[in-house]
């Protein structure tokens, strides 16, 4: 059987805590947590056994999007991570909402491109990446981007050298509104994520 080498619960807690320290002051937030795999890529274009995870936190006051992504056992070296939309679970679009890594040269040299994690803070109202093919057909304005993400019409795609058009994909669920969370509340979100990760581990 394939061993699912997702990051451990304790590691998730540490990463979520790091985001809390680096993130902006408390405000209304939209949050998403999702898993990525090859099965979510339409038409069977990827047969990878790799896995990924993403946790997104949007601050409505500052327009900042905190991003935490992880990838495990990719079959090719990571070349980019993008948020695309609008598109449903069985649909595709080249339009970008955000480029976490627009291309391979954007990936820090210290990251392992087969199994690692990365956290970052973006200003969602600004375009991050190129506006023409092959990186996408433009970036959505802020209002449209938020609408696509909040309504589950957006997805995260991990690209690799083995699957240039996408090795792993994960559809954003409906956004969860977290009004003015305390630090303990956000730690609770991290704990819930850690428990979910632990339950998904298989042998």
> Would residue 67 count as lying in a domain?
yes
DSSP letter string over 62-80? TTEEEEEEEEES-SS-EEE
Using a 10 angstrom Cβ sphere, with 0-12 exposed, 13-18 middle and 19 or more buried, the burial of residue 13 is: middle
Domain that residue 185 falls in: 25-189
The CATH number of residue 177's host domain is 2.60.40
Which pTM was predicted? 0.75
> Would residue 18 count as lying in a domain?
no
> Would residue 202 count as lying in a domain?
no
As a whole number of angstroms, the distance between CA 187 and CA 178 comes to 13
> Would residue 12 count as lying in a domain?
no
pLDDT along the chain (203 residues), means of 10: 43 49 62 98 96 97 95 98 95 92 95 98 72 53 92 98 97 92 49 46 45
> Would residue 181 count as lying in a domain?
yes
């Amino acid at each position: 059987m394939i061993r699912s080498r997702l990051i451990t619960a304790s590691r998730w807690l540490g990463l979520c805590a790091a985001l809390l320290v680096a993130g902006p002051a408390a405000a209304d937030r939209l949050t998403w947590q999702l898993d990525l795999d090859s099965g979510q890529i339409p038409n069977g274009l990827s047969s990878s056994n790799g896995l990924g995870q993403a946790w997104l936190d949007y601050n409505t006051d500052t327009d900042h999007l905190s991003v935490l992504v992880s990838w495990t056992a990719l079959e090719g070296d990571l070349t980019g991570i993008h948020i695309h939309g609008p598109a449903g679970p069985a649909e595709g679009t080249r339009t970008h909402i955000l480029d976490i890594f627009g291309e391979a040269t954007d990936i820090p040299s210290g990251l392992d491109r087969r199994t690692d994690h990365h956290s970052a803070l973006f200003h969602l109202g600004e375009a991050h990446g190129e506006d023409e093919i092959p990186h996408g057909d433009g970036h959505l304005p802020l209002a449209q981007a938020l609408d696509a993400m909040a309504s589950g019409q957006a997805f995260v795609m991990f690209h690799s050298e083995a699957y240039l058009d996408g090795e792993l994909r994960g559809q954003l669920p409906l956004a969860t509104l977290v009004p003015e969370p305390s630090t303990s509340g956000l730690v609770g979100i991290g704990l819930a994520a850690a428990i979910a990760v632990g339950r998904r581990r298989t042998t």
